[in-house]
Amino acid sequence: MPKTAAFDFPQDLLDAQAALHKVQAERDAYAEGLPWSAEPMPGWQADKQLHSGYRPAKEDSPGYTPEQAEHLAGLRARILELTTQVVTHPYWATLDGPARIDARSALKHAHEPAVEA
């Protein structure tokens, strides 16, 4: 099993966490290009901000196309599947209390390259 800091994570747990990070990044990148509202909505303009003069506004949103909504729903379903796989992994039962919390935090960063001191 690969060792990450003080924890020996099973490879399948590391793989699930890495896949989760990848799919979350894919979802975030995909959502960047979507309209601001899933449903068609009229745009709006707010009052000018007191000290900055900034006036928040949104253009009309055409809403998501059926293809966009389906793709986003697929990404969300995959995220839920991977999250469930990570959270319910039998490895967590081998740890108690603070060690489990520390291990969960370490797993979230296990994919990052090690930083030399």
The secondary structure element, H or E, covering residue 17 is helix 11-32
Higher pLDDT, 106 or 117: 106
The pLDDT of residue 3 is 47
Q: Specify the DSSP class assigned to residue 84.
A: H
Cα separation of 117 and 108, whole Å? Answer: 21
Contact in structure between 72 and 80 (CB atoms under 8 Å):
no
Contact in structure between 38 and 48 (CB atoms under 8 Å):
no
Tens digits of per-residue pLDDT, 7-38?
999 999 999 999 999 999 999 999 999 999 99
If 0-12 CB within 10 Å is exposed, 13-18 middle and 19+ buried, where does residue 46 land? Answer: exposed
The pLDDT of residue 117 is 56
Residue ranges covered by each domain of the chain: 3-108
pTM for this entry: 0.82
Mean of the per-residue pLDDT values of the chain: 92
